[in-house]
A and B are shown apart, each in its own frame.
Chain A
Amino acid sequence: DTAVSQTPKYLVTQMGNDKSIKCEQNLGHDTMYWYKQDSKKFLKIMFSYNNKELIINETVPNRFSPKSPDKAHLNLHINSLELGDSAVYFCASTRLAGGTGELFFGEGSRLTVL
């Protein structure tokens, strides 16, 4: 039973399109994150939600809009895709309140923009 699952794992699309990536965790965690890994493997945080409230919002274009319908889900919607959006997007979760500080990661969603 996968702890943090992301869909889709692979996504190939044209510039200008809109796409979404979904993430679900079954660990009972209260906090979820989106990280972006670029072609040089650098991991950079994008967003974080705690109990459905946005707590981290790094310098990310407005074309990226996260949405957390409940504590177990954090989705990422991207409008007007650009070539530079090509990357692997990782979802992660943790328990902030009384937790160990460890982030649990999904397997990533590789987005390719043509």
Chain B
Amino acid sequence: AQSVTQPDIHITVSEGASLELRCNYSYGATPYLFWYVQTPGQGLQLLLKYFSGDTLVQGIKGFEAEFKRSQSSFNLRKPSVHWSDAAEYFCAVAPASGSARQLTFGSGTQLTVLP
């Protein structure tokens, strides 16, 4: 069964500082990988996704993530955080094939941005 681990429950950074949110997955083959962001009272918005090819993927709002097969990781990064980035971030994994394309989410990382 697939699983996702986000080891950091809560991260606090200052505005303008760099950010890295960790994500490790467990899956028998290379899965599809996603990062979603949830702001208070809102649904989940896709930041970026990895299916295949270039292991460094660019997303919206200046985010990027790097797939490292050897480490089973898909960490999210941003070089300079803005106050509006404060939110809950979820890493997710889905099988690359199959009839259901079921997303399994990590437990989330809450990001606080200090002025």
Q: Which chain A residues have a beta carbon within 8 Å of chain B's beta carbons?
A: 4, 31, 33, 40-45, 48, 50, 55-56, 90, 92, 94, 96, 99-108
> Is the beta-carbon distance between B100 and A42 smaller than 8 angstroms?
no
With most chain B CB atoms within 10 A of its CB, the pick from A41, A48, A92 is A41
CB-CB under 8 A for A96 and B99, given A105-B44, A107-B42, A108-B43 = yes
> Is the beta-carbon distance between A105 and B43 smaller than 8 angstroms?
yes
Tell me which residues across on chain A come within 8 A of B100, comparing CB atoms.
31, 48, 50, 55-56, 96
Band of interface residues on B: 20 to 34
Tell me which residues across on chain A come within 8 A of B105, comparing CB atoms.
42-44
**Residues of B contacting A: mostly:** strand
Residue B69, interface by CB 8 Å: no
Cα(A40)–Cα(B107), bound, Å? 8
> Is the beta-carbon distance between B102 and A101 smaller than 8 angstroms?
no
Cα(A96)–Cα(B38), bound, Å? 23
> 16 pairs across A/B with beta carbons < 8 Å?
A33-B103, A40-B107, A42-B105, A44-B105, A55-B99, A55-B100, A56-B102, A90-B43, A100-B49, A101-B32, A101-B49, A103-B44, A103-B103, A104-B46, A105-B36, A107-B43
Tell me which residues across on chain A come within 8 A of B103, comparing CB atoms.
33, 45, 92, 103
